[in-house]
Amino acid sequence: MRFYTRQHIHSCGIDLHAQTMSVCVLDAAGEILLERKLETTPEAFLETIAPYREDLVVACECIFTGYWLADLCAKEKIDFVLGHALYMKAIHGGQAKNDKIDAHQIAVHLRGGMLPQAYVYPSGMRETRDLLRRRLHLVRKRGQLLAHIQMTSHQYNLAPLGKRIAYPSNREGGAEHFEDRVVRKSIAVDLALLERYDALISDLELYLVRQAKQHDAQAFHRL
């Protein structure tokens, strides 16, 4: 676990949502200078923090809505910290929780050097990472289809399917392995979906290899 330990004159904690954001700004002594709920727009955020821009650091919990805030802070040259969601749950504690309290806690942990950090993936490479996550989602769905076919065979105590159906060439006549016509229809749907997933995943993998290598050959191996 890595903590953000740099000291700043102003520490800003944000509880960020899709439509609204709660902002809390502390001074170096920990006194609350600002607590406010805003619309989630760059204009509202920049206007609110304008009086505290001198040596300001901003932090929010790692969440899917945080891309724009990280990019805005980078553009405005404001120090930005992304809180590690899992580790932050461990240190938040307490049963009283709302947006205002969460924003204040983030600011307190940030000022005190106790905010666990997540990696801020740079814009431009971040999109490739998200596409990799989408590929993983498709791979898992494909795996569920393969498991369902195998489980259905066991369910009816049928003979083994033989060759591994993970390979498209081994799926010929796969539905006919099942005697009941309704079950055959169910398996035929699985096989049709598998064919589509195979095509999508192969296309994605080819695209991702080319895209990742454009960023950095070493980054490609890490991804």
Domain 3-118: give its CATH code: 3.30.420.10
pLDDT digits (tens, 9 = 90+) for 32-85: 999 999 999 999 999 999 999 999 999 999 988 889 999 999 999 999 999 998
Domain boundaries defined on the chain:
3-118, 126-222
Quote the CA–CA distance of 45 and 64 in Å, as a whole number: 18
Q: Which residues contact 188 (CB under 8 A, 6 or more apart)?
A: 175
Q: Is 89 exposed, middle or buried (0-12, 13-18, 19+ CB in 10 A)?
A: exposed
> How many of the other CB atoms lie within 10 Å of CB of 8?
19
Confidence class of residue 209 from pLDDT cuts 50, 70 and 90? confident
Q: Give the whole-number percent of the chain exceeding pLDDT 70.
A: 93
Quote the CA–CA distance of 69 and 51 in Å, as a whole number: 18
Above 60 in pLDDT, residue 2? Answer: yes
Within 13 A of 14's CA, how many CA atoms are on the CB side? 28
Q: What is the residue type of 122?
A: P
Whose structure tokens read 């040596």?
55
* Structure confidence at residue 117 (pLDDT): 94
Quote the CA–CA distance of 108 and 13 in Å, as a whole number: 8
Higher per-residue pLDDT: 164 or 219: 164
Helix axes 126-155, 181-215, angle to 10 degrees: 160
Q: What is the pTM of this model?
A: 0.78
H/E stretch holding 204 = helix 181-215
* Structure confidence at residue 222 (pLDDT): 64
* Structure confidence at residue 1 (pLDDT): 81
Above 80 in pLDDT, residue 8? Answer: yes
Please say whether the beta carbons of 191 and 175 come within 8 A: yes
Average pLDDT over residues 14-42: 96
Higher per-residue pLDDT: 160 or 75: 75
